[in-house]
Amino acid sequence: MIRSILIYPNPELKKKSAPVTVITDAVRELARDLAETMYDAPGIGLAAPQIGVHQRVIVIDVSAKDEPPQLIVAVNPVIVHAEGETYEEEGCLSVPKYAANVHRHARVVVKALDLDGVEHTWRTDDLLAIAFQHEIDHLDGILFVDHLSPLKRELFQRKARKAAEETR
């Protein structure tokens, strides 16, 4: 089922998510809903808090449009190693119509469970590394705009307030 994506500055986006203790049918349904919502948006990643569910579940698919989907579902993802630096433009389904360059690690190793409770390890770089960092941040109540310099963050907040006022 396609769900509504929470939009900044919704305070729910700033809440930290709880670990999944047991992978149930409800968690599997959440992952399906996240994937459907992400593909419909369209986006390359979505975290459960972005649809108002504060559980540590993310979905990512960085495959090109002309490739078959390569969906990653990660339950309780953790970055266990990070190195290098990259500075790439990011956007977010919860922060529409805004993108900015963000400092991230160039390579990360992520461990997480799949929907059968099996642990997987991803050794990532490039876009997949950025996507994992971005989505895991959501689980901790962090948005990509929180990584901006104070000046750029203030400019963004002004723009977001103005856009919110125009939609009222």
Neighbour count for residue 165 (Cβ, 10 Å): 8
- Peptide bond between residue 42 and the one before it cis (omega within 30 degrees of 0): yes
The question of whether 135 is a catalytic residue gets the answer yes
According to DSSP, the β-strands at 57-60 and 72-83 are antiparallel
Neighbour count for residue 54 (Cβ, 10 Å): 15
Tokens of 98: 């805004």
Catalytic choice (67, 135, 154, 166)? 135
Tokens of 88: 């790439």
Give the Å distances, CA to CA, from 158 to 151, 161, 164: 11, 5, 10
How far apart (Å, rounded) are the C-alpha atoms in residues 160 and 73?
31
- Bridge partners (DSSP) of residue 103 are 87
Tokens of 62: 């960085």
Catalytic machinery residues: 135
